[in-house]
Amino acid sequence: MTANWVWKKRGRLFVATGERHPKLLTHQANPLAVHLENDIFRIFYSGRDSENRSSVGAVDIEIPTGVVVCDHIEPFVVHGPAGSFYEAGISIGNDYSTDGDRFILFMGWQNKPGDHWRGDIGRLKVTPEINLEILDRHPYVASDSEDRVSLSYPWVRQHNHDYQMWYGSTETWDGGNGEMVHVIKGAISSDGRSWRKTGLAVPYILGVAQAFSRPTVIRLNDGIDHMWFSYRAGDGSTYRIGHAQSADDGLTWTLALGALSIQASESGWDSEMIEYPFVFGHKGAVYMLYNGNGFGESGFGLAALEGH
């Protein structure tokens, strides 16, 4: 069935222009779609200030037409103060609900002088008005004996009676070819609040796919769970969007990098790299938001899965 499916690019949806808030001067990275009403979604993104610290902005878009309904100039959440676990920025994952509360998990960046950058996972609360509030002044999921180096972008879903999380974890900053080994691991929870880590979820291959980020998961009508993510090979090439699939409710994953892939364009805003996918369904259609050149500096675009 999947052989007949293909991602069809709809073009770039949004790139910020004109006068901007000083915390959202450049970049619209890690787009995350939250449904507002009818065909309108609030697309949260991570924008940067003049010191490359990321805060969360948003734009409201009518997805089928690509019409921008509202470009929110003010940030929804600003990076943390010096010494906090998100002092160097906030990079968002996805949203989920549990016991009447709605959350967005994020990667909180630290960039200490003389040290390598690193991250931990934090938590935002989504209000009924679809605003955002920082919930914790300390990491929600921090480095420990399982994840010793750095953590990144989480994705959470409720499935059957449990919650599943997939998140990024650094094994080493150099896998022997100058590229980090940053893998996707899993965790499970009965309540969506306290998590038990389950270790490596998606296999990696040195020199082929070894630096993963920003997983996004959806079950399609073939009954299989599909995951897309950013990855780098370790050969000096830039980010690409890869794919994995699971036939056992997300417990084990098989790399299928070329299947259901979406490629960089021959020219234009997404020709140099393509990364940070976010896949979601709406009215029977399946869409992917994604970034292009410059880690989101060139804005974000939309693709639709055709033939499914």
| CATH number for 203 | 2.115.10.20
The whole domain housing 197 covers 2-306
> What is the bridge-based pairing of β-strands 40-48 and 26-37?
antiparallel
Q: How far apart are CA 163 and CA 156, in angstroms?
A: 7
Q: At residue 308, does pLDDT exceed 80?
A: no
d(CA 305, CA 191): 32
Condensed to tens digits (0 to 9), the pLDDT of residues 218-231 reads 999 999 999 999 99
- Tell me the CA distances in angstroms from 295 to 30, 47, 125, one per residue in order: 9, 11, 25
pTM value? 0.97
Confidence at residue 2, expressed as pLDDT on a 0 to 100 scale:
65
pLDDT in tens, 258-268: 899 999 999 99
Q: What angle do CA 43, 99, 167 make, to 5 degrees?
A: 55
State the pLDDT confidence band at 256, using cuts at 50, 70 and 90. Answer: very high
Domain count, the chain: 1
Angle (CA) 256 155 24, round 5°: 110
pLDDT digits (tens, 9 = 90+) for 177-222: 999 999 999 999 999 999 999 999 999 999 999 999 999 999 999 9
